[in-house]
Amino acid sequence: MPSAGQCQCPLLLGLLEYHPDSGRLLDRTGGDVFLRAQSARVLHLLVDNLGQLVSRDRLIEEVWPDVSVTDDSLTQCIADIRRAIGDSNREILRTIPKRGFILQPAAGVPRLAPAQTAAGDTVEPTARAPMAQSLTLPRVAAHHWTEDLLPTIAVIPLRSRQIRGEDGVAEEVVGEVVAEEIIYALSRSQEVYVVSRLSSTYFRSREASLEEIGRTLSADYVISGSLMGNADRVILGLEFAESETGRILWSDRVESTVPALLNEPDTIQMIVGRIRKAIFLRESQRARSMPFTSLPAYSQLIGAVGLMHRLSPPDFEESRSMLAALIERWPEQPAPLSWMARWHVLRVQQGWSDAPAQDADLALTCSGRALEIDPDNSLALTSEGFVLTNLLKRLDDAEDRYNAALDINPSDAVGRLLRGTLYSFEGKGAAAVRDTERALLLAPLDPHRYFFLALAAGAHLANGDYVRALELADMSLRLNRTHTSTLRIKTVALINLGQEEAARETAQELLRLQPSLRIGTWLGSSPSAEFEIGRRIADALRAAGVPD
């Protein structure tokens, strides 16, 4: 089959028609469908090599020539393209594991038939006027083609007010660049889709309601706001809202400088962290207050994850039901399977499982299915590592999974946290502290912050820093007082600090929440049991009053 570089004929790609000469994607009515800029460049390169394998390395080198990015950025672009063209079965854009991708449309690459208007006039898609001259709002790939398991966010460029450069001219570009930085940071997450800046820029200087923005850009959430100040000091007024209801979920005023915004990641990461937390809290609230079947798919998934980490038995069981329904409805999506694998691990760890061996088998089955669907999915890789570590004690295999996930996305906070915890189990304190403290920095506002703090406390325990371990354990318990792993860590830290009375009180609270806990059963289930650190923890728990 000739490549598009040799033939500039329009190509039929699933639901859409692609024009190689202009790079435009058109739907069946001749309307433009927009992709993020990077996704558009990936598609163009794949079309130029139609029917041929294009390696991951080549795509990254050509699409991001001057930027250091991970495979995660490319993975999101591939997902964007598949979602736009309706390739849910991955038959048009195929993944060749560990190698790259092949774009293989139907033989003959036919053109779409001309569409007809309501009045019966024929509309030829290729004759459509450029969008800059169009009187209608642009459209992006909409949710009606496939209901997404991830919410979509539109970041509207911030409106600049009184931002002056050295020449005294207002720099509208500052608002654009800040939006681009937020988009880039959000796009590295596997938890959301992000509308490209080229599409969201349409609303920079237009008055439009949140509902209109959401409908036009197919966005569930919208970030907007303004910049005020000068080159030395700038104030960001930000709002994060739900597009359908107009409900503001988070707003704040952030002070910084233009150089800091453009060159230092801390402010942008803080903004992104608060956005992620606001989404999680909103969707968890909806999952608890609305009938499950009435929720969008992404609300169901986020809600299920939220209920899972509340660690109350009724919420925990409701989470399982929600994940099972998502798996039945979306059998080819790795995310619900990956979270179900973690659900089984948490069930055993909390002492709620009547058949730990069966839970281990089910967990490994779920993570294995997720990796069959997408071998390079970092969520699936970390989930399988979590299973291998905590239920099967195959630590070498687990470390391989965590390493693979971090090769794909070095900024994967959960992958780094869980690898650090594996090092804790092995008594490799310095390595454990390095990974878990890095994870804390990568996820300063994670909705499951208590979990991060607890595992970091365990790392410091393994490193012999009992003061820091106790500090982190107390911080974790302030966020979730029922997390039994944290109470175990606190008990051990107190014993090693000579605070025996406080250790006994903590152990009694632990036994109240987990009355079946015994030293022998803990050693039988803990991955650290075969290492010196495990024996030291057992001795400390025994000294605090936990029965043998």
Predicted pLDDT at 431: 94
- pLDDT, tens only, 91-133: 788 888 778 889 987 543 443 333 333 334 443 333 332 322 2
The share of the chain scoring above pLDDT 90, in percent, equals: 26
- What is the average pLDDT across 38-44? 86
C-alpha torsion angle, residues 74, 77, 79, 84 (rounded to 10): -160
Whether pLDDT at 453 is above 60: yes
| DSSP 8-state class, residue 170 | B
- What is the average pLDDT across 24-53? 82
CB 279 within 8 A of CB 302: yes
Measured distance CA(123)–CA(198) in Å, rounded: 26
CB 193 within 8 A of CB 80: yes
What's the pLDDT band for 198 if we cut at 50, 70, 90?
Answer: low
What's the pLDDT band for 471 if we cut at 50, 70, 90?
Answer: very high
Measured distance CA(220)–CA(186) in Å, rounded: 14
Q: What is each CA distance from 151 to 80, 212, 220, in whole angstroms? A: 13, 17, 6
By mean pLDDT, which of 189-203, 401-415, 501-515 is the weakest? 189-203
Q: What is the pLDDT of the chain when averaged over all its residues?
A: 79
What's the pLDDT band for 467 if we cut at 50, 70, 90?
Answer: very high
**Bridging pattern class, strands 221-229 and 234-242:** antiparallel
> Which of the pair, 202 or 137, is modelled with greater confidence?
202
Predicted pLDDT at 128: 31
Q: Is the pTM of this model over 0.85?
A: no
Q: What is the DSSP string of 178-218?
A: HHHHHHHHHHT-SS-EE--HHHHGGGTTS---HHHHHHHHT
- pLDDT, tens only, 202-259: 787 777 888 888 888 878 889 888 877 765 678 888 888 888 888 888 888 888 877 7
Q: Which residues contact 338 (CB under 8 A, 6 or more apart)?
A: 366, 367, 370, 377, 379, 380, 382, 383
| DSSP 8-state class, residue 54 | E
Instruction: Give one word for 462, left, alpha or beta, with left for phi > 0 and alpha for psi -120 to 50.
Output: alpha
**Bridging pattern class, strands 93-96 and 100-103:** antiparallel
> Which of the pair, 265 or 159, is modelled with greater confidence?
159
What's the pLDDT band for 72 if we cut at 50, 70, 90?
Answer: low
* DSSP count for the chain of H helices, then E strands: 22, 16
- What is the average pLDDT across 391-410? 88
What's the pLDDT band for 8 if we cut at 50, 70, 90?
Answer: low
Q: In degrees rounded to 5, what are phi and psi of residue 290?
A: -125, 155
Residue 345 CA, chain-centre distance (Å), reads 20
Whether pLDDT at 49 is above 50: yes
CB 59 within 8 A of CB 101: yes
Domains defined for the chain, CATH in brackets:
11-133 (1.10.10.10), 147-285 (3.40.50.10610), 291-408 (1.25.40.10), 411-548 (1.25.40.10)
Place of tokens 């029965």: 547
Question: Considering only CA atoms, which of 83, 213, 78, 216 is closest in space to residue 148?
Answer: 83
Identity at 517, one-letter amino acid code:
L
Predicted pLDDT at 146: 36
Whether pLDDT at 494 is above 90: yes
- What is the average pLDDT across 288-301? 66
Question: Considering only CA atoms, which of 184, 187, 221, 227 is closest in space to residue 204?
Answer: 227
Assigned token pair, 537: 């923890």
Predicted pLDDT at 270: 79
By mean pLDDT, which of 296-305, 449-458, 470-479, 533-542 is the weakest? 296-305
Predicted pLDDT at 215: 82
> Which of the pair, 246 or 446, is modelled with greater confidence?
246
Identity at 266, one-letter amino acid code:
D
Assigned token pair, 326: 């998502």
